[in-house]
Structure 1
Amino acid sequence: MALKWTDTLDIAIELFEKHPDVDPRYIRFTDLHAWVTALEDFNDAPDKSNEKILEAIQMAWIEEAE
């Protein structure tokens, strides 16, 4: 499954599984962007993200972690 920036919940689940010791409430967007683009299934243009998308991924990750 190829992940796009709009797949916020799927990205959050992948990040939760890949980085179980990270508290997503305290992640910087620069780190989040790098981790998303490094996901094996991620297949979208890195420059298509913005703060709104990264925030949505972060919120989904926080919900997944709880």
Structure 2
Amino acid sequence: MGLRWTDIHDIAIELEDAHPDVDIMHVRFTDLWKWVQALDDFDDDPEKSNEKVLEAIQMAWLDERD
């Protein structure tokens, strides 16, 4: 089974690999939502996401970069 919305840390690692030059704090949630779904390992229902989940992914991604 692939990544799910609850795999926040693993998603953050893959996003950092896929988008290393992005200004994380200025990514629109609509773009982040699309980028997560575009990850090779992602396999979850797009409708299970919400702003809280996307914000958690964004913060984990920021932590991953530091």
Please give the range of the TM-score, normalised by the shorter of the 2 chains: over 0.9
Specify the alignment match of 1:33 in structure 2. Answer: 33
Q: What is the aligned length?
A: 66
Shift of 1:23: 1.5
Specify the alignment match of 2:49 in structure 1. Answer: 49
Q: Percent identity?
A: 65
Q: Which runs of 5+ in 2 are unaligned?
A: none
Specify the alignment match of 1:19 in structure 2. Answer: 19
**Which amino acid counterpart does residue 27 of structure 1 have in structure 2?**
V
CA distance in 1, matches of 2:50, 2:14: 19
TM (norm. structure 2) is 0.96
CA distance in 1, matches of 2:25, 2:61: 9
Q: Which runs of 5+ in 1 are unaligned?
A: none
TM (norm. structure 1) is 0.96
CA distance in 2, matches of 1:37, 1:14: 11
CA distance in 1, matches of 2:61, 2:46: 19
SS in 2 for 1:57: helix
